[in-house]
Amino acid sequence: MRLNLQSDYALRLLMQLAVNTDSLLTIAEIAECYGISRNHLMKVANALGREGFIVTVRGRSGGLRLAHDASSIIIGSVVRKTEGDFALVECLQEGKNNCLITPVCRLKGVLGEATEAFMAVLDKYTIADLVADNSALRNLLNLEAA
């Protein structure tokens, strides 16, 4: 299983904002910090804004900030919103399953159970859990001090 690039960037962006709660950060600052594409990060930020995870402030003094306390942003929720689907194999794709053995195959159930277990772990953690008491991470991501 692998998360898509949008999920990866979304989680990194949220962690960056959680470390820098006292100021607005720009897409340019975050993209430069991580060495990632501004354009792709802009799309991710727009999606996170639409989903209510972040607030975007336009204008010369604008930027991004968390819409809620980091302790209320559940990692599983972010991943569910940023992943297209979790269909690991054809039989898990709704409306696209043409596999001959689906009616008798047990793999679909096993993979479904594995996906549920994966998401259950992500649902146990918040963005705050990723940044709290992590001074090394804070030092790397704290743009306020830069």
CA distance 30 to 63: 10
pLDDT of residue 110: 93
Give me the residues of the chain with pLDDT under 50, please. Answer: 146
- 88, 32 Cβ separation under 8 angstroms: no
- 59, 24 Cβ separation under 8 angstroms: no
pLDDT of residue 53: 98
pLDDT of residue 85: 79
Task: Name the maximum alpha-carbon separation found in the chain.
Answer: 60
Predicted structure pTM score? 0.88
Structurally, at CATH architecture level, domain 5-85+126-141 sits in Orthogonal Bundle (1.10)
